[in-house]
C-alpha cells in the first residue's frame, strides 16, 4: 500500500527550509503527535516560537492538527500520511529557491549525520549491534537512469518493512529503526 505523494514546490520548500521547522517536523515524524508545549520541552524553544513555526508548517501542508485530540488551548500536531518528494533538479537554476534548497539539504545532511553519531555513541546490546549496519559500496559505476532504478528498488524493499506494510508487531523486542541511504555520484579523480 503506497502512500499518496506530494511534491515539494518552490513555495513549500521556502516554508520548510528553516532548521527549527525541520527539527519540529522530524520530532513529529519520529515520535508521533505532540503539542507545542511538548515540542518546546524537547527542542528547548519557547512555546510561542514553536507555535509560530507549527502554523507555518501547517500552512504548507507538512503537518496537520489532530482534531479529535486536545482542546482549543492544547492543540496536537501530526504529520499527514503523505510521502513528501523533493527533486532538487527542479530548483537548481532558480536563484530564489536555490538558497532555500541549500539550507534544507545542509540541515538534512546534519540530521542524518547526528543520527548515526548518536547510534555509535550509545551502548547497544550485542544483538542490536549485530543487526545494525554502517556500510558503503564503492565499486558501482552507474548512469543516472541506473541510479534512479537502484534507489527505487531499495525504496520498495524498505517499504515492505514499514509499519503500514507489516502492522504493529507484538514482539516486545521491536524498536523504531531508521534506515538512511545516501546514493550520489562522485567526481572521478
Name the β-bridge partners of 83. 5
Does 109 share its domain with 171? no
Note down the domain range covering 95: 5-122
Per-residue pLDDT tens over the stretch 93-111? 888 888 889 989 999 999 9
- pLDDT given for residue 2 in this prediction: 63
Does 93 share its domain with 9? yes
Domain end among 95, 122, 149: 122
- How many separate domains does the chain show? 2
Does 114 share its domain with 131? no
- pLDDT given for residue 124 in this prediction: 94
Instruction: Please list the ranges in the chain whose pLDDT falls under 70.
Output: 1-2, 164-165, 168-169
**Entry pTM:** 0.79
Does 100 share its domain with 36? yes
- pLDDT given for residue 21 in this prediction: 96
Does 167 share its domain with 102? no
Amino acid at each position: 500500500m503506497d502512500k499518496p505523494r506530494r511534491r515539494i514546490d518552490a513555495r513549500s520548500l521556502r516554508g520548510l527550509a528553516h532548521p527549527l521547522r525541520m527539527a519540529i517536523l522530524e520530532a513529529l515524524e519520529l515520535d508521533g503527535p505532540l503539542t507545542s508545549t511538548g515540542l518546546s520541552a524537547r527542542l528547548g524553544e519557547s512555546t510561542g516560537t514553536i507555535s509560530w513555526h507549527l502554523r507555518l508548517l501547517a500552512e504548507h501542508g507538512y503537518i496537520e492538527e489532530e482534531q479529535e485530540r486536545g482542546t482549543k488551548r492544547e492543540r496536537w500536531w501530526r504529520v499527514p500520511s503523505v510521502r513528501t518528494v523533493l527533486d532538487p533538479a527542479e530548483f537548481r537554476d532558480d536563484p530564489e529557491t536555490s538558497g532555500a534548497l541549500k539550507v534544507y539539504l545542509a540541515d538534512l545532511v546534519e540530521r542524518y549525520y547526528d543520527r548515526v553519531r548518536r547510534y555509535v555513541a550509545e551502548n547497544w546490546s550485542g544483538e542490536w549491534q549485530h543487526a545494525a549496519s554502517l556500510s558503503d559500496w564503492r565499486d558501482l559505476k552507474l548512469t543516472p537512469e541506473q541510479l534512479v532504478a537502484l534507489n527505487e528498488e531499495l525504496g520498495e524493499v524498505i517499504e515492505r518493512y514499514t509499519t503500514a506494510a507489516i502492522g504493529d508487531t507484538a514482539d516486545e523486542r521491536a524498536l523504531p529503526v531508521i534506515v538512511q541511504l545516501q546514493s550520489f555520484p562522485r567526481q572521478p579523480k
